[in-house]
Amino acid sequence: MSINTNKDVIARFITEVWNKNNLDVLDELIDSIYYDYSYEPRNREGLERVLQMMQVAFPGHETIIEEIVSEGDTVAICQTLRGVHSGSFRGLSASGKQFEIGGYRFFKIRGGKITSHRGLIDLPGLLQQISAND
């Protein structure tokens, strides 16, 4: 796979799966050996749980790829995640508040499919922005 093709896989994953919640394309994008360092359980089921949680807590959320870098089988992105807190999240009832946070994600690609993911978001910033305290 070329570097640009690997970047295209991740751009498609962010656009179609993460932003549009189109789980029908997961078989095309996620390898059977997929391992996730960020979600529990650490496999595709964990990814699907997080996607479902995001749709409940932040329906219509959007991830914007600010930077994308690829070397070998690794693709890294710097992202902005924004949305509205419209459902329960970590024990916080929907606040209706908008949020915008940064994050980083690293993916491994093999044969055009994602084999692993690890990510870090500004969770303290998110919780501060959506909390009831102003």
Who's near 41: CB < 8 A, 6+ residues apart?
A: none
Cα angle, residue 82 at apex, residues 38 and 98 outer, rounded to 5°: 120
3: pLDDT confidence band, cut at 50, 70 and 90? Answer: low
What are the extents of the domains in the chain?
3-130
Residues 28-37, mean pLDDT to the nearest whole number: 98
What was the pLDDT predicted at 134?
Answer: 57
- Which element (helix H / strand E) includes 44? helix 44-57
Q: How far are the Cα atoms of 2, 13, 36, 39 from residue 117, in angstroms, in the given order?
A: 19, 12, 5, 9
CA distance 18 to 113: 15
**pLDDT above 80 for 11:** yes
4: pLDDT confidence band, cut at 50, 70 and 90? Answer: confident
Q: What is the pTM assigned to this prediction?
A: 0.94
CA distance 109 to 31: 9
Question: 3-130 in CATH: which number?
Answer: 3.10.450.50
List pLDDT tens digits, range 53-109.
999 999 999 999 999 999 999 999 999 999 999 999 999 999 999 999 999 999 999
C-alpha count within 13 angstroms, C-beta hemisphere, residue 18: 18
